[in-house]
Amino acid sequence: MRFQSTSLQRRNVLRTFGGLALAAALPEAMAQEAYPTKPIRFIVPFPPGSGAELTARFMGQKLSELIGQSVLVEPRGGGNGFIGVQAVLSAPRDGYTLFAGSNSTMATNVALFKKLPYDPLVDLVPISLFIRSPIVLIVPPNAPFKTLRDFIAAAKREPGKFTIGSGSAGYQMMGAMFAEKAGLDLLPVPYKSSPDTVKAVMAGEVSIGVADVTSALPLIQAARVFALASATDKRLPGTPDVPTAREEGLMDFTPATWNGIMAPAGVPKPIVDKLSELFARILATPEAAEFYAKQNVEQLPSGQEAMRKFQREEIERWKRIAVTSKIEQQ
């Protein structure tokens, strides 16, 4: 009987285990290279009709055209976006369930809540930013005031009488920011989403509403709500008759919503890289430029690093705003 040396035995064992490890890794590597081989889901943490949902549907359609697979958009509204986040974090980390979130779930929730059930900088990894959507201040069409100056003057005459409607956490902070800068005592009325806020304003349930222009634009153009001002540096192309907040005497009030797409941490980096590259291609198309112009929104830079940098800056920005506007954490 021939005995192998200890070193030779060790080398054989290592070769055996190395071969097994390589064999085990091959299917995963091949799956990543072939990705995607089945439909992809976009989880949107808001109800249908929100700016995030409309953008997700456009981006999903364009992604589907590139990859030859269906892209399903699933609105999961409620709970300040927590429900949508949990749906993504509970799914397999294989790149087939992505998070089409917004500023509230990716940034402002950090400033508003003492303890979040997730960490947007740890539990989610960036893929690409999409849009920045300006805020508009809207009132019912039969409101007695037709300018923002008139509303501010009326609200100052009767402190605590007027109500302000806002959607998720991000909008609530913007409403508080508006009240603080205008020196007003407004009663906040929270809604589940920006579209819900727009409907409440249209029905006369609140005195004034804070909404993104994407959600409000159709009803502004149909004269079913009246826009007092846009929180922008210059007037929006889709609402050229609506003055800016600055024109109405409200300085330094330019908050905006934004959205993009992320993956749950643990999705293989080659898949995240591939998705990032695909969205960069989509954002460079004439169709994307047309979509942005139609929605009166601004395109944000694509890329993972750009998104993470922007997200960190937004978190710090809203933390400062929460302090200066005396917004209490929930």
pLDDT at 5 over 60: no
Phi, psi of 251 (to 5 degrees): -85, 150
pLDDT at 235 over 50: yes
pLDDT tens, residue by residue, 14-65: 455 455 544 444 445 545 578 999 999 999 998 888 888 999 999 999 999 9
Q: Which residues contact 26 (CB under 8 A, 6 or more apart)?
A: none
Lowest mean pLDDT among 35-39, 65-69, 150-154, 165-169: 165-169
> How confident is the model at residue 86, as a pLDDT?
96
Question: Hey, which residues does 63 pair with through a beta bridge?
Answer: none
> How confident is the model at residue 24, as a pLDDT?
45
Fold of the CATH domain 34-133+257-324? D-Maltodextrin-Binding Protein; domain 2 (3.40.190)
Domain boundaries along the sequence of the chain: 34-133+257-324, 134-230
Looking at per-residue confidence, does 170 or 305 come out higher?
Answer: 305
Equal fold, 34-133+257-324 vs 134-230:
yes
Q: Which residues contact 144 (CB under 8 A, 6 or more apart)?
A: 150, 154
pLDDT tens, residue by residue, 67-121: 999 999 999 987 888 999 999 999 999 999 999 999 999 999 998 898 899 999 9
3 state SS of 124: strand
> How confident is the model at residue 168, as a pLDDT?
76
> How confident is the model at residue 326, as a pLDDT?
77
> How confident is the model at residue 204, as a pLDDT?
96
Is the separation of the CB atoms in 197 and 140 below 8 Å?
A: no
Phi, psi of 200 (to 5 degrees): -65, -40
- Distance, CA of 224 to CA of 86 (rounded, Å): 36
- Distance, CA of 76 to CA of 269 (rounded, Å): 26
Percent of the chain whose predicted confidence (pLDDT) is above 70: 90
Token pair, residue 91, equals 């799914």
Confidence grade of residue 13 (pLDDT, cut at 50, 70, 90): very low
> How confident is the model at residue 34, as a pLDDT?
87
> How confident is the model at residue 15, as a pLDDT?
53
- Distance, CA of 182 to CA of 121 (rounded, Å): 33
Q: Please return the burial class of 329, using the count of CB atoms within 10 Å of its CB with bins 0-12, 13-18 and 19+.
A: exposed
pLDDT at 319 over 70: yes
Report the mean per-residue pLDDT for the chain.
89
Token pair, residue 280, equals 């960069």
- Distance, CA of 79 to CA of 84 (rounded, Å): 9
Q: Is 296 left (phi over 0), alpha (psi -120 to 50) or beta?
A: left
Report the DSSP pairing between strands 124-139 and 256-264. antiparallel
> How confident is the model at residue 327, as a pLDDT?
77
> How confident is the model at residue 12, as a pLDDT?
53
**CATH number belonging to the domain at 134-230, selected among 1.10.10.10, 3.40.50.2300, 3.40.50.1580, 3.40.190.10:** 3.40.190.10
Q: Is the dihedral of CA 222, 225, 230, 235 positive or negative?
A: positive
Identify the H or E element spanning 74.
strand 71-75
> How confident is the model at residue 29, as a pLDDT?
52
Phi, psi of 44 (to 5 degrees): -105, 125
> How confident is the model at residue 25, as a pLDDT?
45
Confidence grade of residue 328 (pLDDT, cut at 50, 70, 90): confident
Q: What is the pTM of this model?
A: 0.83
